[in-house]
Amino acid sequence: MNAQQWETLVAVIRGERVRPVPTGFIIDSPWLPNWAGHTILDYYTQETPFLAANLKASNAFPRTMFLPGFWAEFGMCTEPSAFGAVTIWGKDEFPFAGKVLRSPADVEYLKKPDPRRHGLLPFVINRLRHLQPCIQAAGHEIRFAVTRGPFNIASFLMGTTEFMLALKTAPAHTHRLLALITDFLVDWIAWQRECFPSIDGLLVLDDIIGFVGGRDFEEFALPCLQRAFDTDVTVKFLHNDAPCKACAPYLAGIGVNLLNFGVQHTLDEMRCWTGGKITLFGNIPPRDVLAAGTPADVTRAVTEMLATTGDKSHLIVSCGGGMPPGAPTCNIDALVAAAEAMGT
């Protein structure tokens, strides 16, 4: 993100009325490499395609924000790899992290990873260190520490179904697993901030927290997220494009001030459930409209969304989730133009 985009983001989070209504997108490997003409594997393993793809996006869409910006990630495998998960690669496929735990009791054998030395995490930091001069020369800065959330990581280490069952059948082991993961996340976030003092934002991605009800969220997820977000940065951004109703009332209390949520809920519903205290980042359907629709479909969806919400403060128009694979340039342009036309 460049300085002007960062200032706009912070202004919206503070509740200032920015005109036109700003737009933004979470962009990463499900969309960016193929859109820019690279294979996913090349994007992950070579610095030149990674830098070229991110610069191409920022130059092609100068009127929108890309968050977190120059995200040096390895799909869902980044954090699980530090716990020993085997990463399965394909030339033009998303990598997948193999399970580590055969049963909840196996958590007894896990040790907290060192983000400076374990898994793919040193590769993330080294890529950004190598490319930081080029990123800065293009007018951008590394603004965000980024991590998958505790439930997300646990679901890869154990399997999603197995993790959901363990919440009920092995709560003691599950608490221990989540505490260990959270200890690691605190270290990982701190190390990113230590390496890049320009960081003043945190993005945590965890849609698995949307699979539980309020009681389980409060018992298992809330303490972990409180610790993860307990860091001194200006922007505290949560991505959860699964159902958000159960977790929404707790988010402002743990410091979240920016939320990317899914298409299950309307802007007005999310404002109600979050007490109007959180800037909303959404929520045009990503797959069915932004990727599979026409520019006219995108324009219609943005127009209808903005026409039916009275309050356009604390709002960044986006899709309800990350940028979907296959989203074409013309549809992204249509979303930005429609938001600008409606949001003056």
C-alpha torsion sign, points 16, 17, 20, 24: positive
* Residues contacting residue 183 through CB under 8 Å, at least 6 positions apart: 112
SS3 of residue 294 by DSSP: coil
pLDDT value at residue 134:
98
Residue 254, amino acid: I
User: If we measure between CA atoms, which residue out of 172, 158, 166, 156 comes closest to residue 120?
Assistant: 156
CA dihedral 320→16→335→337, nearest 10 degrees, is 180
Euclidean distance between the first and the last CA atom of the chain, given in angstroms as a whole number = 23
Give the span between the Cα atoms of 277 and 314, in whole angstroms: 8
Determine the Cα–Cα distance for residues 171 and 164; give it in Å rounded to an integer: 10
Contact 132, 203 (CB under 8 A): no
3-state DSSP assignment of residue 99: coil
Helices marked H in 138-282 — which ranges?
150-158, 160-169, 171-195, 214-216, 222-228, 248-251, 267-273
Number of domains composing the chain: 1
Token duo for residue 22: 């700003």
* Average pLDDT, 10 consecutive residues per value, the chain (344 residues): 97 93 96 97 97 98 97 96 96 94 96 98 98 98 98 98 97 98 98 98 98 97 98 98 95 97 95 96 96 98 92 94 97 97 76
For residue 137, the surrounding DSSP H or E stretch is helix 121-137
For 113, the token pair is 């990873």
The region that residue 284 occupies, defined by phi over 0 for left and psi between -120 and 50 for alpha, beta otherwise, is beta
CB neighbours of residue 308 within 10 Å: 10
Asked if 157 contacts 79 with a C-beta cutoff of 8 angstroms, the reply is no
Alpha-carbon distance of 226 to 254, in angstroms, equals 5
Backbone angles phi, psi at 266, to 5 degrees: -90, 165
Residue ranges of alpha helices (H) inside 23-110 are 32-36, 40-45, 47-60, 78-82
- Specify the 3-state DSSP secondary structure of 118: coil
User: What pLDDT score was predicted for residue 44?
Assistant: 97
Q: What is the pTM of this model?
A: 0.97
How far apart CA 39 and CA 208 sit, in angstroms, is 28
- The whole-angstrom separation of Cα 237 and Cα 267 is 17
Backbone angles phi, psi at 314, to 5 degrees: 50, 45
The CATH number for 77's domain is 3.20.20.210
Residue 283, domain extent? 3-342
Phi, psi of 170, deg, nearest 5? -140, 60
